[in-house]
Amino acid sequence: MTWSAAQYTRFKAERTRPGRDPDAVTPDDGTVLPPFPRLFLLAEKP
């Protein structure tokens, strides 16, 4: 699953917003973005 430019921009904005958990992937409005490929690979390790 790849990211669109809009999704990536939104994700970066969410991560850098003050008071936001930088590791949270789900924005406050409840929508879910696809995981970063790097995070996805880390999550698959046993």
How many residues appear in the chain?
A: 46
Q: Are 35 and 43 in contact (CB under 8 A)?
A: yes
Top-confidence residue, 6 or 1: 6
Residue 6: pLDDT band (50, 70, 90) is confident
DSSP one-letter code for 36: P
As a whole number of angstroms, the distance between CA 46 and CA 11 comes to 26
Q: List all residues 6 or more positions away from 13 whose beta carbon is below 8 Å from its beta carbon.
A: none
pLDDT of residue 4: 82
Residue whose token pair is 């003050």: 18
Which pLDDT value is given to residue 10?
80
Q: Which pLDDT value is given to residue 32?
A: 59
Q: What is the pLDDT of residue 18?
A: 65
**Per-residue pLDDT tens digits for 12-43:** 777 676 666 656 655 555 555 555 555 555 55
